[in-house]
Amino acid sequence: MHKVTLIPGDGIGPEITQVVIEVFDKLKAPISWEMVDAGAKAIKKYGTPLPEVVLESIKRNKVALKGPITTPVGEGFRSVNVTLREKLNLYANLRPVKSLPGINNKFEKIDLVIIRENTECLYKGIEYSIDESTSCAVRVITRAASEKIAKYAFDYARRHDRKKVTAVHKANIQKLTDGLFLQSIRNISNNYPEVEYEEKIVDNMSMQLVLNPEKYDVIVCPNLYGDILSDLAAGLIGGLGLAPGANIGDEIAVFEAVHGSAPDIAGKGIANPIALLRSSVMLLEYLEEYQLAKKLEFAIEKAVEDKNILTPDLKGKGTTESLKNKIISMLDL
């Protein structure tokens, strides 16, 4: 039995984590959940969005599944998501972007992985105002973190038999920070002669992804570019409702969807649970429950063939419930 920390989160978080609980139940996955609150519920209960009990639980269990957490814009507390990644040194944010059959007709064969550096860049949150009309942010890039993410990306490519790694940067403008990032990735790339290596400037990369996403394999980037490109790439396969992710450290992993708390649809029963379910497939793989992972992945692929039960983000007329039921009914095929 694996003990896994479960954070329901804000907005649509509780609705979609509930789906995972039910699906895992039906799968008879050998997992016992330890439920802890972060975000809005934690503020009510403990006066802070990220109470110590959450960190303790994750450190103890080493594995967590997390719903999205709302972050106030322009004021208020620092992002719980960013703080978690930093405090637990979850240095790699792994975001596979894979087409689901029949969902997006334009691109049927997207199968890329964005590997986003997860601890530094602008997410250090170092900002200051000089006066009322001028504010600055400090962008931190270190050789240690850049080499670590490079090594993770190339090892990932080797382990998963992927052919190419593309490093994304803006070293033409950010000569010192992105320059250091790029130099670090190049250094590490030399140790992996069997993996093709290329570099793309982030603006061009955005266009290339929109035009030719099927050409890309593993993409490694600093924190901010990875954040932006992963939402862009999610759009290419049919939206954020389909894009999973994992925050990986040397000993701890926290699985979560790419999307946020989606306040515009929260409580309406129409959130797409697939992004979090695909994150749960990754969780099962991490726990070496490969058969269960395959079963769930297959059930998701089969379920989306029935267009009637799809949620509105996939242009369907269904609900979270109808999609969940269909996936459950496909588990035994």
Residues with a catalytic annotation lie at 123, 170, 203, 227
CA-wise closest residue to 280 among 25, 71, 1: 25
**Nearer to ligand NAI among residue 213 and residue 316 (C-beta):** 316
**What is the smallest separation between the CB atom of 285 and ligand NAI, expressed in angstroms?**
20
**What is the smallest separation between the CB atom of 233 and ligand NAI, expressed in angstroms?**
14
* CA pair distance 278, 242, nearest whole angstrom: 8
CA-wise closest residue to 318 among 24, 258, 327: 327
Q: Report whether 243 contacts 234 (CB < 8 A).
A: yes
- Give the phi and the psi of residue 245 in degrees, each rounded to 5: -160, 165
Strand partners, 127: 137
**What is the smallest separation between the CB atom of 15 and ligand NAI, expressed in angstroms?**
9
**What is the smallest separation between the CB atom of 79 and Mg ion, expressed in angstroms?**
10
**Nearer to ligand NAI among residue 30 and residue 102 (C-beta):** 102
Interface with ligand NAI by CB under 6 A: which residues?
12, 68-71, 81, 240-241, 256, 259-265, 271-272, 275, 313
**Nearer to Mg ion among residue 289 and residue 313 (C-beta):** 313
> Which of ligand NAI, Mg ion, none does residue 227 bind (CB under 5 to 8 Å by kind)?
Mg ion
Q: Quick one: which H or E segment has residue 253?
A: strand 253-257
* CA pair distance 92, 89, nearest whole angstrom: 9
* CA pair distance 49, 9, nearest whole angstrom: 10
* CA pair distance 213, 97, nearest whole angstrom: 10
The reply on whether position 227 binds Mg ion by CB under 5 A is yes
CA distances to 63, 177, 331 from 66, rounded to whole Å, are 10, 31, 23
**What is the smallest separation between the CB atom of 180 and ligand NAI, expressed in angstroms?**
27
**Nearer to ligand NAI among residue 145 and residue 323 (C-beta):** 323
> Which of ligand NAI, Mg ion, none does residue 293 bind (CB under 5 to 8 Å by kind)?
none
Question: What is the residue-wise DSSP string for 63-113?
Answer: EEEE------SSSSSPPHHHHHHHHTT--EEEEEEEPPTTT-SS-S--EEE
**Nearer to Mg ion among residue 117 and residue 289 (C-beta):** 117
> Which of ligand NAI, Mg ion, none does residue 117 bind (CB under 5 to 8 Å by kind)?
none
Of the candidate spans 43-51, 119-127, 226-234, 288-296, the one that interacts with Mg ion by CB under 5 A turns out to be 226-234
Contacting residues toward Mg ion, per CB under 5 A: 227
